[in-house]
Amino acid sequence: MRTTRFTPWISALLSATCLIIGFGLGRYWEILFIIPAIIVYWYFTRKTSLEFVLSILLVSYIILAVLGLLIQLSPYLMMIGCSLALISWESTLFSTKVSDASGLFRQNSQSLETLHIRDLLIVISIGLLLGLMGLNFSLHLPFGVVAILALLAICGFYRGLRFLIK
């Protein structure tokens, strides 16, 4: 599972790079002290519960991105940084779950890994596309239209869920 081994590290590095560039463009160089502190935190707590430590790291990246948005930094870099942090978190949890699994998963781990990476990239790409579109487009709709669209979305989700269950 070579790609699952490298995916968390590469995406965490790219996420940190996006955050550093975003904060650096706004001349907030304090981030250069916070990112190494997060890495040191991970190093000292890596022997404890991995899910807990990774969740704390993901939340810290999200908090940094939210702070960046609050002080009017580049929303594009903050969104991409959060998405990459999510990829890192999910890939690490996936690799630990597969390595802890029974022999059945180990035999099919390559195909399972390929499916997981593909699905993860599809979901993150769609989320980034919708998020970036939301940053660039603005629609002003009356409340009634929004309420009807929300009801249609809820009904469609419910029917789709019922279709999948059957």
pLDDT tens, 133-162?
888 888 888 999 999 999 999 999 899 888
Residue 71 to residue 140: CA distance in whole angstroms: 25
Counted domains in the chain: 1
- The pTM of the full predicted model, rounded to 2 decimals, is 0.75
CA dihedral angle for residue 16, residue 92, residue 112, residue 6, rounded to 10 degrees: 50
Domain of 128?
Answer: 2-165
Residue 92 to residue 9: CA distance in whole angstroms: 9
The total number of residues shown for the chain amounts to 166
Residue 35 has pLDDT above 80, yes or no: no
Higher-scoring residue by pLDDT: 33, 128: 128
